[in-house]
Structure 1
Amino acid sequence: MSVRVRRIYDPPEPDDGVRVLVDRLWPRGVAKDAAHVDEWPKGLTPSAELRRWYHAGEGSFEEFAERYEAELAAPEAAELVDHVRKLAREGDVTLVTASKSPDKGHASVLLRLLDRA
């Protein structure tokens, strides 16, 4: 079993497993049937305040990651993280995002958190 991150604009692959959209808003220009998204847990996404802070360039990626992990420790978000962990124990999971740089965004922080357990 594995968890990986891919851009939602890339075509789905047979080994994606369960595709989990980890963005709060539906990506522009992507038809829902073409995206092949199996789950969309909006509670896993960073808060609007944290997103605005990070995209305004006010802090480093490391500080963003710390703040986002703190948000993911809240009960509702932690429950969703556990759910994705359960999916990963049962098979492959692909976290999909519209981010232009998934390696410097919230999906990579979530992936790192999921890999710890």
Structure 2
Amino acid sequence: MNARVRRVYDPVEPDDGVRVLVDRLWPRGVSKDAARVDEWPKGLTPSAGLRRWYHAGEGSYEEFARRYEAELSAPEASELLDRVRELAEAGDVTLLTAARSPGESHAAVLLRLLDEM
């Protein structure tokens, strides 16, 4: 399986494979043509409450990751994660996010879960 995380603001690369936007909102300042997003599973993103909690600095990244993983066990999110896993098993997948620190974001949690399966 070959999956990776990149910022949606980074230029498209030939080895990106299937480009999956994993943010609930469309990133500011990026046109749909420039982003070249193949899939946008909005139901795979953290809940609004969890995002607000994390961005308010009320908890650690580890606690955020734990809570987000719990949210991913919901049926819709689980199905969407399985879909992304199938894409990654079939070829290259790039998880796209607008997060300033992708390594400490929900995208990193998704990448880890994909790598574990």
Pick the TM interval, shorter chain.
over 0.9
Post-superposition offset of 1:2: 0.2
Is 1:77 matched with 2:83?
Answer: no
Identity of aligned residues (%): 79
**What RMSD, in angstroms, separates the aligned Cα atoms of the two structures?**
0.5
C-alpha distance after superposition, 1:53-105 (max 9, x if no partner) = 00001000000000000000111100000000000111000000000100011
Q: Counterpart in 2 of 1:101?
A: 101
| Distance in 1 (alpha carbons) for counterparts of 2:105 and 2:84 | 18
Q: CA deviation at 1:45?
A: 0.3
Post-superposition CA distance 1:10-49 (Å, at most 9, x none): 0000000000000000000000011010000000100000
In 2, Cα distance between the equivalents of 1:22 and 1:93?
12
Give the letter aligned to residue 4 of structure 2.
Answer: R
Structure 2: runs of 5+ lacking an equivalent: none
Classify the secondary structure of the residue corresponding to 1:63.
helix
Q: For residue 96 of structure 2, what is the amino acid of its counterpart?
A: V
Alignment of 1:9-48 (within 5 A): 9-48=9-48
Aligned length in residues? 117
Gaps of 5+ in 1: none
Q: How far apart, CA to CA, are the structure 2 residues paired with 1:62 and 1:14? A: 33
SS of the aligned residue for 1:20 comes to strand
1 CA distance for matches of 2:91 and 2:28?
A: 28
Q: TM-score, normalised by structure 1?
A: 0.99
Give TM-score scaled by structure 2 length: 0.99
Matches within 5 A, 1:44-59: 44-59=44-59
Extract structure 1 runs of 4+ deviating beyond 6 A.
Answer: none
- Give the match's secondary structure for 1:79: helix
2:24 aligned counterpart, secondary structure: coil
User: What's 1:8 paired with?
Assistant: 8
